[in-house]
Chain A
Amino acid sequence: MTYDAGHYDVIVIGGGHAGCEAAFAAARRGAKTLMLTLNLDMLAFMPCNPSIGGPAKGVVVREIDALGGLMGKVIDKTYIQMRMLNTGKGPAVRALRAQADKPLYIQEMKSILENEKKLTLRQAMVEKLIVENGECKGVITETKAAYYAESVIITTGTFMRGRVIIGDLSYESGPNNQRASVKLSEHLEELGFDLVRFKTGTPPRVNSHTVDYSKTEIQPGDDDPKHFSYETKDAILDQIPCWLTYTNEFTHKVIDENLALSAMYSGMIKGTGPRYCPSIEDKVVRFNDKPRHQIFLEPEGRNTEEIYVQGLSTSMPEFVQREMLRTIPGLENSEIMRAGYAIEYDSVVPTQLWPTLEVKNIPGLFTAGQINGTSGYEEAAGQGLMAGINAASKALNKESFILNRSQAYIGVLIDDLVTKGTNEPYRLLTSRAEYRLLLRHDNADIRLTEIGYNLGMIGEERYRSFLEKNRLVGEEKLRLTDVMLKPTDEVQKIIEEAGGTALKEAVRAVDLLKRPEMKYEMIEKLTPATLDLTWDVKEQVEIQIKYQGYIDKSNQQVERMQKMENKVIPDNIDYDDIGGIATEAKQKLKKVRPLSVGQASRISGVNPSDVSILLVYIEQGKIARVSNEY
């Protein structure tokens, strides 16, 4: 027997990176929200590497922030090191990455969620969904509490039928020996869900006192750290370095000799692992000509001695892990604090979802995060945010919200998942975005703050300061268009110092800035702005002027594609009724049920001619206007 434990607008199952963003977003959007999680001490826990951001992922964190989410704010308060990557490349691929303090991150996140007015946190194991007339109406916990809600979001990560594997040892478990969620997974299968088995893994952690750092290379943070959140003002200057070392022939020999004991190679692991995050045994086998592989030693926090051995992810037995470590410079005497392990888990085939992350066949139910076949904290958080917004919208009868591929990496991520599915744990890469130049980390606020404000996720003050920044950027660009720079000695000197060719006649400041060697700071010396501009305004002015040609080209591409995106496919369309569409395409269309012709065109197996036919079919409504004049 169950008891009625309460009624909510939105229930979030799980308190990882997806769950935290989902619960917070739903509450901010105005929904009375309940989060149910297995262990309240593990909110937003990082079971794998202690870092957030990096190429593509770092942009997602900024996008989350521009939409009013938490990840950027929390990491900005708790990082032990911050680095801007790809500084030698173009503005589109610069990326911020932070080393996180794992325990502090949890505390900070928990404190924010605890103080969110419309959000209730509760420790519980959900076993079942309440589904009435095909719609999700609530959840039932193992303690027989029945909670009711208009929308339910599942964000159970790698917990569903999780199984940890170390060598020939295998046991039912979530990450880091937390309880696995078994009954919920079985229940989803009963409800008709299509599940797949994925695998991921982590390396061993060693005690810092047993590491000889003198044999490694130091990897310090930036002196002038930038931040993820547009609200962060204060930098953490007391940063902690990471360290770099390498495997060698002896490491590889240990792996070769014990390969049969690796769960990966013994056949114990059935799940599909990610190619971009291979185990060390995988690297050695697949790239056996490489004499060495990089190993990064990353502290897990300020107040802990645990060191994450990045690059040594493995499913080898514990004694082999120990032997491997001893071959690596700096780690000869290292002591393992936690052994590395592989983890297998159930995930939902994401083509079963609408782009709102609502389950097509069970209205009211949403899934977000690693359960949808992704990997990575940022990918999970981005989905969580979107699911939270949409679940709340549904409960409150507000409009649903979808980001498209030209608006955000989050849009690329979700569109890829629900349109193409994935046959390995999905990671965002910059190459997955066709409009990479538009989806920069520096302009996430310009792309999304307005949207966040309209969703009720961004406060007045922040919105006003965003508008002010935009205004200043616009005015400064205009000013530089008007200012003429004459070939004076001062001008020529600055150009010469930058390595450029001297001016023959006067030029507009904007044109001088377009020269590859010129930077805004040089132009600024020649013609100072009338107002005191902040660095981010200057950065924006420089990027928008210097790369205008490329940006324009990307915008044209978007425009062309937008016409297809705007063609809505009616939700009652009967693909069987359309003659001429190839059988394979028809099957795919029936499964994915794309919302727009643009989305349909991205389904693999749907050819341009199928799209044309689809377009013609949809446009039949216009036929009423037929006339015979010719």
Chain B
Amino acid sequence: MDTDTITAISTPIGEGAIAIVRLSGPEAVKISNKLFQGNDLTSVNSHTIHYGKIIDPSTSEVAEEVMVTIMRGPRTFTREDVVEINCHGGLASVNRLLELVLAEGARLAEPGEFTKRAFLNGRIDLSQAEAVMDLIRAKTDKAMNVALKQMDGRLSKLIQSLRQELLETVAHVEVNIDYPEYDDVEEMTLEMMVKKTNQVYVEIERLLQMAKQGKILREGISTAIIGRPNVGKSSLMNALVHENKAIVTDIPGTTRDAIEEYVNIRGVPLRLVDTAGIRETEDIVERIGVEKSRQVLKESDLILLVLNYGEELTKEDLNLFKVVEDLDIIVIVNKTDLDQKIDIDKIKHYANGRPVITTALIEEVGIDALETAIADTFFAGELDVGDLTYVSNVRHIQLLKQALQSLTDAINGIEDKMPIDLVQIDVTRTWELLGEIVGDTVQESLIDQLFSQFCLGK
């Protein structure tokens, strides 16, 4: 009976070696194939497994390395076409994968919906019926608990206030429609409407932006290590990773490969990036100039700037300071085992209030202070971690995206000079979608609003 394709993460939420995103429905294979680089999934045999890559169609970048299992109905759990995409475990990667699948047109499954479909398509026998119903109930309760727990109090408050804003707008239009002679309220115009919708649009967009940032946080704070050659960037990385991943030598330029490491610094996940580009930062600055280097480094959430204790500040060092002006940095003055040639006061001046740590990384001195500084940078709120964690629930994000879409429809309608009562259909839809996030979709509240906001008679 169902004609749409549903999807969900079908492995337990949490860190596992492998996670599975499952799709079921008529479009399951088509959707997977659109994202998949490898065999043509639409023509492979049923019940086969394929290695390949998931490509993000918006950026054409490789998002994940995956194994994809193709199972065509009816010999499947749901009796529909089923695709299971196995990816690296970890919330970040599996969520990204899920979002790509959703973006291609699958719908996020309701709790227990795979089982429900299996049942409705006759997969499960009578004795299991009761169990299925219990399962739906249990899963729903759990999903609701999880969703509610994941919902930050501030998020719920913000959504409520956006809804109220929209509700008042909608009620205003409604009152114009249902009480056309009521003269106590001015006629809502498209100009007034566009102001309201734009306001809410900006807020939802900001929420989605924060959701993205929240994802970064869960995936790790992307952290760049910069500095002139041979100041100890690789040693720093090793010290943080406690493992000899990068090659450490005294010869400048011996760090060859782009390296990424995830480390957990006192609860703050860092993704340390030591790319060729960043290794040769000073070259970049020379090559493309301060402003452009800034743009490159802005992509990072945190920058560790390494200086040499045993040398005076050079012009390159000063250039680097210019590049990271106003960005979140921690200055690390390394090699305190050497004689001091650097002027710490000057550094503090250039650091401009941002933390300055002295270390001797080879001797493992100062690492503790560095870790404290990293943790402080986050918990002191300078990166505003609180805001970053706002929206993390995939369902919420999906609903926000839909809300943004229907608001876009409304704004397009306004631009096309559609009658206001048609534009209002999309505004009402936005209000309903936001309501689904906070679990409130009662239509009656519009009518309540109408009669409390306006004094109506005729």
Contact = CB atoms under 8 A, between A and B. Distances in A.
A5 B79 CA distance: 64
Contact of B451 (A95, A276, A622): A276
**Interface bracket on A:** 35 or more
Contacts of A398: none
B120 A615 contact: yes
A275 to B, nearest CB: 4
A623 interface: yes
Contact of A550 (B130, B183, B425): B425
A311 B458 contact: yes
Interface in B44-84: 74-77
Interface stretch (B171-179, B288-296, B307-315): B171-179
A531 interface: no
Interface string A571-590: 00000001111000000000
A92 B421 contact: yes
Contacts of A432: 443, 447
A553 B134 CA distance: 36
A522 to B, nearest CB: 15
Contacts of B132: 616
Given A89-B420, A613-B136, A296 B458 contact: yes
Interface stretch (B5-13, B22-30, B121-129): B121-129
Interface string A421-438: 000000001111010110
Interface in B72-129: 74-77, 110-113, 116, 119-120, 122-126, 129
B140 interface: yes
Contact of B442 (A437, A604, A617): A604
Residue of B76, B420, B457 with highest tally of chain A CB at under 10 A: B457
Contact of A517 (B417, B446, B450): B417
B267 interface: no
Nearest to B120: A619
A277 B455 contact: no
A620 B120 contact: no
Contact of A516 (B416, B425, B443): B416
Contacts of B14: none
A625 B126 CA distance: 11
Given A93-B421, A580-B137, A630-B76, A86 B122 contact: no
Interface in B155-198: 170, 174, 176-184, 187
A90 interface: yes
B129 to A, nearest CB: 6
A55 B180 contact: yes
Contact of B140 (A278, A293, A609): A609
Nearest to B138: A580
B420 A627 contact: no
B122 A622 contact: yes
Contacts of B1: 563
Given A89-B420, A613-B136, A626-B124, A56 B119 contact: no
25 contacts: A56-B178, A85-B181, A89-B177, A89-B419, A90-B420, A93-B177, A278-B455, A283-B457, A290-B184, A293-B455, A430-B174, A430-B177, A431-B450, A517-B417, A580-B134, A580-B136, A580-B137, A608-B140, A609-B111, A616-B120, A616-B129, A623-B126, A629-B74, A629-B75, A630-B75
Interface of A: 49, 55-56, 85-86, 88-93, 95, 275-278, 283, 286-287, 290, 293-294, 296, 310-311, 313, 429-432, 434, 436-437, 516-517, 547, 550, 553-554, 563, 578-581, 604, 607-609, 612-613, 615-617, 619-620, 622-623, 625-627, 629-630
Interface of B: 1, 74-77, 110-113, 116, 119-120, 122-126, 129-130, 132-134, 136-137, 140-141, 170, 174, 176-184, 187, 416-422, 425, 442-444, 446-447, 450-451, 455-458
